[in-house]
Amino acid sequence: MISDALNRIWILSKKNVMLYINRGPVLIFGLMFPFFMTLSWVIGRDISINHVFIGIVSMTSFFTATAISPVVLPIETREKSLERILVSPISLNEILLGIVIASTLYSLVITSIITIIFFLMFSIVFISLTTIFLMFFGICLMSILGSLLGVLVAANPTDRTSDVMLIINLIKFPLLFISGIFIPLQNLPSNLLFLSFFSPITFLADLLRFCVDGSNFFMYQVDIIMLTMWIVVLFILGYFLHKKTMPKRLAETKKMKKK
């Protein structure tokens, strides 16, 4: 039974990667946005290479993870393929996990490529071999977290990707600006420092700082615990919101069909 469920989740994930990796919103918000954001941040400023590395990896991981997951359900609602999935023996959990895995894999691949390129070009030095694994673990956590955030926002029962992308961008940018990527946490005023605790990117950036130059603000264990807590909260919230809004999503589809 479990192996059947895992097989279905894997098939759904493969489908999501194959169908949505080259969609407009995924390319724009997943690749182009972090690239130009980084350029505008770095050019003309005297920023250490370690700081740039931390910023690029954090942004890439977060932006790519939140690229696929919000668009799957609106597109499949519009194209009615969600109904095809729902009439087959697939549970809501499996559908959501299929989206999360696809989104996570996409984020991991892109972030890994960026990390390796940066690592080779600028000879980033890690404080120990273990911290390389810790960095990869942190990126994995952020990829899952970002995917879950996208899934949560996609609980809005709409068939328009623009609706969902608008909401996720409204959430993503404030989270990014208060995260301590652009200004290290040590240099933040106390009120902004307090706000930064509400951004998950804060904890990834802090973990990466520990890995690269040991200038972390929290203990790395705290960073991992906080990222994990975000994952648990987003997963639970996403599941219950989707369970609540799925009938409305399908009812709305029926109304739209009638129009």
Partner 1 sequence: MTFQNNNTKEISQELELGKRPIAIKVSNLVKRFDDLIAVNDVSFKIFEGEIVGILGPNGAGKTTTIRLLTGIFKLEDKANIEIFNEDITKNLSKYKINFGIVPEVSNAFSDFTVWQNLRFSGGIYGFPKEKVEKRSKKLLEQFGLIDKMHSKTKALSKGLKQRLNFCLALLHEPSILILDEPTSGLDPISVKLMRNRILQLKKEGKTILITTHDMLEAQTICDRILIMNRGKIIADEDPNTLRERFKSTSTIRFKIDGVLSNNQKNTLMDIFDNIKEEDNYYVFSSDDDIKDIFMLYNFSKENNLNISDFKVKETSLEEVFIHLIKKDSISKGGLEK
Min CB(199)–partner 1 separation in Å? 35
- Check residue 259 for interaction with partner 1 (CB under 8 A): no
Residue 38 tokens, joined = 């980084």
Min CB(91)–partner 1 separation in Å? 6
Min CB(167)–partner 1 separation in Å? 24
Residue 211 tokens, joined = 């890995």
* Subset of 14-43 contacting partner 1 (CB under 8 A): 15, 18-19
Region binding partner 1 by CB under 8 A among candidate stretches 11-19, 116-124, 144-152, 194-202: 11-19
DSSP structure string for 204-237: HHHHHHHHHTS--SS-HHHHHHHHHHHHHHHHHH
* Subset of 63-102 contacting partner 1 (CB under 8 A): 79-81, 83-91
Q: Which of the 8 DSSP states describes residue 128?
A: -
Do the beta carbons of residue 99 and residue 72 sit within 8 Å?
yes
3-state DSSP helix/strand/coil percent for the chain, to nearest 5? 80, 0, 20
Min CB(80)–partner 1 separation in Å? 4
Contacts of 237 (CB under 8 A, 6+ apart): 152
Binding site for partner 1 (CB under 8 A): 4, 7-8, 11-12, 15, 18-19, 79-81, 83-91, 247, 250-251, 254-255, 257-258
